[in-house]
Amino acid sequence: MKRTIRTGVALAAATLVGTTVATADDFPSRPITLVSPYAAGSGNDILARTVGKAMGTVLKQTVVIENRDGASGTIGLSYVGRAKPDGYTLVMGGIGSVVLHPALEGEKKTFDPQKELAPVSLVAKASPVLVVNSGLGVKTLAELISLAHRTHVTYGSPGTGSAMHLTGELMKEVTGAPVVHVPYRGQSLVMNDVLSGTINFAFLDPPVVLPFIADKRVRIIAAAGKERAAEFPNVPTTSELGYPRLVMENWYSIYAPHGTPSAIIARLTSAIRQGMALPEVQQVIEKTTGLIPLAKGPDALQQQTLDDDAKWQPLAAKVRQ
């Protein structure tokens, strides 16, 4: 009897292993959902649609983009964190939703993306640009800082804990300018209110700003990066303007639910790398979105997360107080 039981258990285990391998080998056999945790038209959404299409080309399967915005990306990330870990539900995260917002929440956070999600791949990065409403009457960062010391100046971001929010807080720390934060639910909404003059300025991703380069209602006065953005070659960096600490590298990344089999993670990582290597995809990402393609795997994404945790935790703790 004992031998029969052992044999049955062994057969069941072998069947389970065989099923797991077959599932990984056959993946994907149906459409994949890639969640953008920000509003349509945001930098995250634009990149998700570009990368999703590239992945679909390689995997020969449809990748559906689903927007689940709110709570600085937490709604979309937590939705994917609760999904079945089979590789069919993914999310486009980033430094804001994975590092900065949780750091700002501290012990109050109800969802920890670094524990509940499995890293798949870094996909792109960009430094935000500082856009002001032309009616503000400032043409340089120095003039903006001076104005903020004399009167009430507001800046918008796509949510508390977003990369753009912390860039604004970093500006406040390094320049002493008492600017006031106004949170929104997406970058496109922030851009609309900069255009209308409802808020005075914002740090925004290049793909959100690019369509408005010729719009006289706004002016781009700085880039919060170490190097000038290719799309804005005449716009000086914050480092050039005397603020080398005022730098933000806003990266984007794809995650699966924690517990997703490593073979499926590897398949997804490979598809992202192959898809983003396609000439037409490279052209769209670099020329249309203004982002720098990365396509680095889980290990690189994990290290990037650890590095930025160390960099931004102190400022997040200060902002929490």
Q: Give all strands of the β-sheet with 180-183 in edge-to-edge order.
A: 180-183, 154-157, 201-204, 129-133, 218-223
Mean pLDDT along residues 294-301: 94
Least confident of 3-12, 170-179, 180-189, 206-215: 3-12
Close Cβ partners of 78 (under 8 Å, ≥ 6 residues apart): 111, 116
Query: What is the pLDDT, as a whole number, of residue 23?
Result: 56
**Cβ pair 218, 133 in contact under 8 A:** yes
Could you read off the pLDDT of 222-252 as tens digits, one per residue? 999 888 887 788 999 999 999 999 999 989 9
Q: What is the CATH number of domain 31-125+250-320?
A: 3.40.190.150
Phi, psi of 27, rounded to the nearest 5 degrees: -70, 135
Could you read off the pLDDT of 215-230 as tens digits, one per residue? 999 999 999 988 888 7
| 129-223 matches 31-125+250-320 in CATH topology | yes
Cα–Cα distances in Å, from 127 out to 20, 43, 49, 318?
41, 12, 20, 23
Q: How far apart are CA 313 and CA 103, in angstroms?
A: 6
Helix (H/G/I), strand (E/B), else coil: 203: strand
Q: How far apart are CA 300 and CA 297, in angstroms?
A: 6
DSSP letter for 285, please: I
Q: How far apart are CA 1 and CA 132, in angstroms?
A: 79
What percentage of the chain has pLDDT greater than the value 70?
92
Cα–Cα distances in Å, from 139 out to 27, 41, 207, 221?
53, 27, 22, 6
Domain ranges across the chain: 31-125+250-320, 129-223
Query: What is the pLDDT, as a whole number, of residue 200?
Result: 98
pLDDT at 11 over 80: no
Q: Are strands 218-223 and 292-296 parallel, antiparallel or unpaired?
A: unpaired
Q: How far apart are CA 299 and CA 302, in angstroms?
A: 5
Architecture of domain 129-223: 3-Layer(aba) Sandwich (3.40)
Could you read off the pLDDT of 27-70 as tens digits, one per residue? 999 999 999 998 888 878 989 999 999 999 999 999 999 999 98
Mean pLDDT of the chain: 89
